Every structure is written in structure tokens, then in C-alpha cells.
């Protein structure tokens, strides 16, 4: 069993560094205390949306030191969202995964760039598998969700969970929710998707698990929770042992 935290945020592009750090710290403090109060245990992993911070990031470890610090203080892994990140001479839509010791494990680059992103950023070329001991997971960024090969390759590599940091407009929420449930069902894997909220963006972040009938070998996507259209914190527990068993059975076919 793992405890997953999800933070739904508005977009921020005019905050000073100090204000942004205070915002992040406050959300993580609320997440930590809510987990302790409601579950009596800590969070294992936290996910934020894609491009909630809109400026180009040139030195993640320095500019988002507060995230490295809270990961270390609260002892959890953080998927801080995806950012426009300048690395050497290229700019990617990049998701740096932060470990509980406050370091960056590796980065997942967005593979399928959307719209104008194709002219501005360099695409990634592979799905990473992140192993944090208790579980293995992969991160697919927003538009990557549309392509079934992405989720399947992650599941085939041994991912226990799929995370989808996203930036979905209001009109796209319904198909986004369908994609999330289908990716969960076809791969027999729980999915966690955090979205930007406010303005053009629809929020409604979602966590999907599976309901399974062993006698008929039928699995049904089960929405564990869906967020509102406002900034919000969600915590759920997910039974990885069960999903591993039904995934093994399905993939044997």
C-alpha cells in the first residue's frame, strides 16, 4: 500500500522567487499534516501539474531549492510537475523527479510536444522508469497520454504507477478523463493525473484505480477521487499488490 499526494495548482508566472517558495512550502505543509491527521502515516509520493510555473527554468536545483528541501524534510518523492527547462543548448518540457534525500533522480522529457511546443522545444525520446525502492513508476507528460504505446511501454518495463502531470483546458476535461481511465484499464495499472486549474484550465485532477472481479476476470476503472476546479490537495492510498497481480494475469495473455 502506498499513499499518494496530488496538488492541483493555478498557473504562476509573475511571482517573485520568495513568493513562489512560500506558496510551495505552504501546500506541502498542508499535504504533510493532512496525511498525518487522516492516515496516521506519511506520503510516499507527490505529483504536481504540467507548466504550473510558466517561466523557463535554467537551474532547477537552485531555482526550486524549496522543493528539494521539503522532499528531504518530509521524506517523500516529488514529481514537481513539468517545466520549460533549459539544459545546455536545448529547451525541453522536463519533469525532474526529486528523491527523499533532496536530489534529482533523473528527468522525464515530454515526448509528444503539442501545438506550438513543437517549434520551441526539443522532444524526449524514451520513457524513464523511476525506481524508489517501494515502487517503480513512470511519468508521461500531458499530450503523451494520447498515445497508448507510451503507457504500455512503461507498464512493460515494470511500472507500478503512471503519473500524468498535465495542463488541460476546460473543453478537454471530458476526453482527458476518458483517456486516463482507458490507460488504467488497458494496462491494469493505477494512474495519477494532476491538472492546472483557473482561467482557461479545467482542474478536475483525477486518480484512477481498478475494481476487479476475480471470478470473471473483469476489471473496471474506479475513480478514486476527482478534484474540483480550484486549487486543491488530494491524498489517496493505492494497493499496488492487487494491481500487480491483475496486470500479470492480463499481460500473460
CB 92 within 8 A of CB 122: yes
Residue 176 contacts residue 168 (beta carbons within 8 Å): yes
- Which residue has 517523500 as its cell numbers? 76
Residue 1 is predicted with a pLDDT of 87
| DSSP reduced 3-state for 248 | helix
Q: Are 247 and 188 in contact (CB under 8 A)?
A: yes
User: Mean pLDDT of residues grouped by 10 in the chain (253 residues)?
Assistant: 92 86 87 71 90 95 93 92 96 97 97 95 97 95 97 96 97 96 97 95 95 88 87 91 91 87
Domains of the chain: 2-251 (3.60.110.10)
For 25, the grid coordinates are: 512550502
Instruction: Sort strands 161-163 and 136-139 into parallel, antiparallel or unpaired.
Output: parallel
pLDDT score, position 40: 59
Q: Quote the cell numbers at residue 222.
A: 474506479
- Write out the three cell numbers for 142: 500531458
Q: E strands along the chain, which residues?
A: 2-8, 45-47, 77-79, 83-87, 90-98, 104-109, 130-131, 136-139, 161-163, 191-193, 197-198, 201-202, 206-213, 218-226, 232-238
Q: What pLDDT, on a 0 to 100 scale, did the predictor assign at position 95?
A: 98
Among 252, 207, 214, 208, residue whose Cα is nearest residue 232: 207
Amino acid at each position: 500500500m502506498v499513499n499518494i499526494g496530488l496538488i492541483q495548482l493555478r498557473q504562476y508566472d509573475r511571482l517573485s522567487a520568495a513568493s513562489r517558495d512560500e506558496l510551495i512550502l505552504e501546500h506541502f505543509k498542508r499535504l504533510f499534516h493532512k496525511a498525518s491527521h487522516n492516515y496516521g502515516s506519511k506520503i510516499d509520493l507527490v505529483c504536481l501539474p504540467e507548466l504550473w510555473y510558466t517561466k523557463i527554468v535554467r537551474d532547477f536545483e537552485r531555482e526550486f531549492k524549496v522543493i528539494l528541501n521539503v522532499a528531504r524534510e518530509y521524506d517523500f518523492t516529488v514529481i514537481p510537475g513539468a517545466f520549460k527547462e533549459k539544459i545546455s543548448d536545448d529547451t525541453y518540457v522536463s519533469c525532474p523527479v526529486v528523491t527523499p534525500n533532496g536530489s534529482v533522480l533523473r528527468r522525464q522529457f515530454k515526448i509528444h510536444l503539442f501545438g506550438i511546443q513543437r517549434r520551441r522545444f526539443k522532444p524526449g525520446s524514451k520513457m524513464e522508469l523511476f525506481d524508489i525502492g517501494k515502487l517503480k513508476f513512470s511519468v508521461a507528460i500531458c499530450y503523451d497520454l494520447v498515445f497508448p504505446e507510451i503507457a504500455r511501454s512503461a507498464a512493460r518495463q515494470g511500472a507500478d504507477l503512471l503519473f500524468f502531470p498535465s495542463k488541460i483546458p476546460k473543453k478537454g476535461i471530458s476526453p482527458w478523463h476518458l483517456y486516463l481511465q482507458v490507460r488504467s484499464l488497458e494496462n491494469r495499472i493505477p494512474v495519477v493525473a494532476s491538472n492546472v486549474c483557473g482561467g482557461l484550465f479545467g482542474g478536475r485532477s483525477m486518480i484512477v484505480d481498478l475494481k476487479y472481479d476475480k471470478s470473471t476476470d473483469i476489471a473496471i476503472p474506479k475513480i478514486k477521487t476527482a478534484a474540483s476546479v480550484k486549487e486543491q490537495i488530494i491524498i489517496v492510498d493505492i494497493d499496488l499488490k492487487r494491481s500487480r497481480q491483475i496486470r500479470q494475469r492480463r499481460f500473460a495473455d
